[in-house]
Chain A
Amino acid sequence: MAYSDKVVDHYNNPRNVGTLDKSAAEVGTGLVGAPECGDVMRLQIRVNPETNVIEDAKFKTFGCGSAIASSSLATEWVKGKTIDEAMAITNTDIVKELALPPVKIHCSVLAEDAIRAAIGDWKKKNNVAETSAVVAAH
């Protein structure tokens, strides 16, 4: 199977690999997937509490090249966005950017889930309610 140049680039030079402190209030952690499925992504965000802007994001992924690329791209995209802007990222955006073939679309879905799980975790920790617009979009 031939990979797109972008997938290969993310695989060779993954952005934002690492770990943030789970216990910090500004950090939201999303852990999605399962070892049995061959795909586990952990995506973390650090959110500025005044501006709701995601100032930093880190990821670690157990999965194929497309999964690594999807999650690496996700951290690139959420950095600098507000929480609401990050919630608007969809898996189809990721599929387009990385030119994922049909058999790898589920990797992009997992990355989208990871973003939302991280945001959801941050919101829970900071007692932020879901806005109805976001609930409708999801």
Chain B
Amino acid sequence: MSNEMSNSGVVISESSTPLPSGVHLPIYMDNHATTPLDPRVLAAMMPYFTSTFGNAASRNHSFGWEAEKAVEAAREQIAKLIGATSKEIIFTSGATESNNLALKGIAEMYRERGNHIITQVTEHKAVLDTCKKLEKQGYRVTYLPVGADGLIDLEDLKRAMDDKTILVSIMYANNEIGVIQPIAEIGRLCHEKGILFHTDAVQAVGKIPVDVQKDNIDVLSLSGHKIYGPKGVGALYVRRRNPRVQISEQINGGGHERGMRSGTLNVPGIVGLGKACEICREEMESEAKREKELRDYLRNKFEKALDYVHVNGNMEHHLPGNLNMSFVYVEGESLLMGINDVAVSSGSACTSATLEPSYVLKALGLGDDVAHSSIRFGLGRFNTKAEVDYVADKIIDVVSKLRELSPLYEMVKEGIDLSKIEWAAH
């Protein structure tokens, strides 16, 4: 008598959850990748595409003066958000450019002083790839490891610093796992040793309080399209006092932005970035609270309904709207396929162009199988509780069905220790 289980005809994406009121498909929950423009930002930008179209560098007529006025107002809005002064804000085409300018500009300028840079393994590629380039040019780069919770160890940082270290670059908050590094302490350590401190604060600015004075930051990158502003514009904060930081420009041609970044300013983009920062400053406290509640609610729903789920990254020092969760024994891309009306992302190799799993999750020491089952939720300003309910119910449904398809889940439920199996990988 054979012992069989047959459940052919398992249907994955036919959902039993009806569409609640206020929920429109597709739902966007990937706000770490990018954010929609806030309507107020669009409204602020519009005139600078149509009537006030002047070049902010045209010094001799009202078209230029109007544009320049708007740019300076935006500069002030951005400075206010991060506790800086206007003169310390430089406009760029985005955070990738800001990171390049900071790292290359400082490396070049301070070459006489030293050639050692310290960063860490879960940085955004804009920092990591730039460091690789600098290594090819003869700089030494130390990539600090992170613990299982995603945080760097301050003792590791101390030990890595030597008399040739000119720059430390550590991101404020991580885009995949939402973990917030001990920035103020890092800054303090750097200042004690006379080392410059840069932070890629793209995911932190506008979401949590960032203050370049309190946090001991010398250089900071930020981006418009992560805070409900436009794509194609960002800024670099460059400290002017205690110490005065100098940066070697990477783009030549006219000496705009105090010689640090030539090129005609993207006036509408800059106006948008300024407005986005202003809105963030006004609404940050209430919005962070709202997002955190939604995020915790989402997490609780999963943990109540499913076994073998695992949150990635330290949850105490964590962005309010971020949740990175592994649904073990279900592969990430197959899960995304089942929720094709919801936009989130996965650390699975199958979802990347290179078939490599997320290097951030690997750096946490997660097994590849757990990395492959990870989903990143990025809640934002326009997500509602009704949407969170819909997404949670849908995912619980799809995960349950995919687990019926999963040989790993079946083996685990039978009490088999998967780590003891010799897999026949091809």
Cβ–Cβ contact B333 & A64, under 8 A: yes
Question: Which A residues are in CB contact (< 8 Å) with B283?
Answer: none
Question: Which A residues are in CB contact (< 8 Å) with B406?
Answer: 60-62
Contact of B9 among A13, A33, A113 (CB under 8 A): A13
Scoring B residues 329 to 342 as 1 if CB is less than 8 Å from chain A, else 0, what string do you get? Answer: 11111100110000
Cβ–Cβ contact A20 & B7, under 8 A: no
User: Which residues from 51 to 98 on chain A have a C-beta closer than 8 Å to any C-beta of chain B?
Assistant: 58, 60-65, 67-68
A90 shortest CB reach to chain B, Å: 14
Cβ–Cβ contact A37 & B425, under 8 A: yes
Cβ–Cβ contact A40 & B408, under 8 A: yes
Given A3-B337, A33-B423, A41-B407, are A64 and B350 neighbors across the interface (CB < 8 Å)? yes
Cβ–Cβ contact A35 & B369, under 8 A: yes
Cβ–Cβ contact A113 & B426, under 8 A: yes
Contact of A47 with B by CB under 8 A? no
Chain A's interface: helix, strand, loop or mixed, by majority?
mixed
Question: Which A residues are in CB contact (< 8 Å) with B329?
Answer: 62
Given A19-B410, A103-B355, are A12 and B12 neighbors across the interface (CB < 8 Å)? yes
Question: Which A residues are in CB contact (< 8 Å) with B369?
Answer: 35-36, 38
**Range of interface residues on chain B?**
35 or more
CA distance A14 to B338 in the complex (A): 13
Contact of A133 with B by CB under 8 A? no
Question: Which B residues are in CB contact (< 8 Å) with A106?
Answer: 426
Cβ–Cβ contact B405 & A61, under 8 A: yes
CA distance A106 to B350 in the complex (A): 11
User: Which residues from 1 to 39 on chain A have a C-beta closer than 8 Å to any C-beta of chain B?
Assistant: 3, 8, 11-21, 24, 27, 31-39
Cβ–Cβ contact B426 & A32, under 8 A: yes
Scoring B residues 346 to 373 as 1 if CB is less than 8 Å from chain A, else 0, what string do you get? Answer: 0011100101010000000001110010
Q: Which B residues contact A (CB, under 8 angstroms)? A: 2-14, 329-334, 337-338, 348-350, 353, 355, 357, 367-369, 372, 404-410, 418, 423-426
Q: Which A residues contact B (CB, under 8 angstroms)? A: 3, 8, 11-21, 24, 27, 31-42, 58, 60-65, 67-68, 103, 106, 109-110, 113, 117
If A14-B10, A14-B405, A21-B3 are given as contacts, then 20 extra A-B residue pairs at C-beta distance below 8 Å, sorted by A number, are A11-B12, A12-B14, A14-B12, A19-B6, A21-B2, A24-B2, A31-B407, A31-B424, A32-B424, A34-B423, A34-B425, A37-B349, A38-B349, A38-B372, A42-B407, A62-B409, A64-B337, A68-B334, A110-B426, A117-B424
19 A-B pairs within 8 Å (CB atoms) are namely A11-B337, A12-B13, A13-B11, A17-B7, A18-B8, A19-B4, A21-B3, A33-B423, A33-B426, A35-B418, A41-B407, A42-B407, A58-B6, A60-B405, A62-B331, A63-B334, A64-B348, A67-B331, A68-B405
